[in-house]
Structure 1
Amino acid sequence: MFPDLTRDDVFRIETRRLWLRWPQARDAEAIVRLAGERAVAEMTSQIPHPIDPLGTDAFIIEARRANAEGEALTMALALRSAPSALIGVISIGPHPAVSGAHLGYWLGTPYWGMGLMSEAVATMVEAYFSYAGGEVLRSSAMTSNVASRRVLEKCGFVRQGCERHAFPARGGEREVDLFQLTRNEWSSARGG
């Protein structure tokens, strides 16, 4: 899915306010603290609450493996002013509930409401269409997660409908809004 360019752990993307870099072992504590917050974990299908530190280590190892093999691109989010301090995670890769590439993300609550996730999503979308040559990118958000739906819409994603998806960490299914962005839509929005 992703080219050699992204398969080295020195790969990073810089935005106006963020560094997107490969997750590292030192990020585990921040992941446990930030992703483990109930408000964050409950909006995701995979992050348990409370979060298991050993599961966090396994997540980092798997993310690095998938990045190295080009199967996915999982990036730690950090402020440019503190590039070693993880504040969230964003990824594009396979997802059991959808065909093709899926965008997923979370951000620690101290960083909500600043437009940081919109900045990160726009950057990952560009990486996917520019570097990976992707044609269609999908995402989803719980219908109750208004902020996540707004991020996707702001970044050009179009709502495709609603369905129930498995949320293993929540112990059942949840209703999600489905979103999609095509290369043509992305290119047109950029004026290309």
Structure 2
Amino acid sequence: MFPDLTRDDVFRIETRRLWLRWPTARDRDAILKLAGDPAVAAMLARVPNPLPAQVVDAFVLQARSDNTAGTGLTLALAPRAAPASLIGIVSIEGSAGAEPELGYWLGRSHWGTGLMREAVSALCQAYFAYAGGAELTASARSANPASRRVLEACGFVHTGTGMRPFPARGEDLPVDLFRLDRRRWQTLGTEPALTEAA
């Protein structure tokens, strides 16, 4: 799904305020603290609360493996002024027989700053411009209007509602479904700055 350009851990996307870079083992403590926050974890399908360290270790290894294989792209969000300091995650994951799906989370202290919109927009631009993507899907818990606003601000179109499994919550929960296709993306703006060297 993703080209050679993204398959090396020196790959990054730079935005006005962020570096989007590969997650590393050094991000473990930040992920434990930020994704393990009950308010963040409650909106995520696969993040248990409490969040065990071994789950984070497995996540980082899987993300790096998928990035290397080009089957997905998971990037850590870090402020440009502190590129080693993870504040969230944004990803595009593929699965057999399904359109690639966007996912993301941001540490609670950064909510309401527009950083997630900036990160999602940059990753979508990279997906369509450099990976040749045709369509992206996304979903947001119906109880999470801020996540829906991020998707709408990045050009995603609401396509309906449904129920999705949230294994870490132990149940299926209602979600709003979204879609962004190449044609719509082409009307949205410019490409991000991509950097291949650290």
TM-score (norm 1): 0.97
The CA distance in 1 between the partners of 2:110 and 2:51, in whole Å, is: 19
Match of 1:79 in 2: 79
Q: Does 1:132 align with 2:138?
A: no
Structure 1 stretches of 4+ moved >4 Å: none
Q: Which runs of 5+ in 2 are unaligned?
A: 191-198
Match of 2:193 in 1: none
- C-alpha RMSD of matched pairs (Å): 1.2
The CA distance in 1 between the partners of 2:147 and 2:73, in whole Å, is: 20
Structure with the greater relative contact order (CA < 8 A, sep ≥ 6): 1 or 2?
2
Match of 1:100 in 2: 99
The CA distance in 1 between the partners of 2:76 and 2:95, in whole Å, is: 19
The CA distance in 2 between the partners of 1:162 and 1:136, in whole Å, is: 18
TM-score (norm 2): 0.94
The CA distance in 2 between the partners of 1:73 and 1:166, in whole Å, is: 22
Secondary structure of residue in 2 paired with 1:32: helix
> Percent identity over the alignment?
56
The Cα of 1:188 is off from its aligned counterpart by: 2.1
The CA distance in 2 between the partners of 1:177 and 1:55, in whole Å, is: 27
The Cα of 1:100 is off from its aligned counterpart by: 1.2
Q: Does 1:60 align with 2:43?
A: no
Aligned residues: 190
Match of 1:168 in 2: 167
Secondary structure of residue in 1 paired with 2:8: coil
The CA distance in 2 between the partners of 1:99 and 1:162, in whole Å, is: 17
The Cα of 1:95 is off from its aligned counterpart by: 5.5
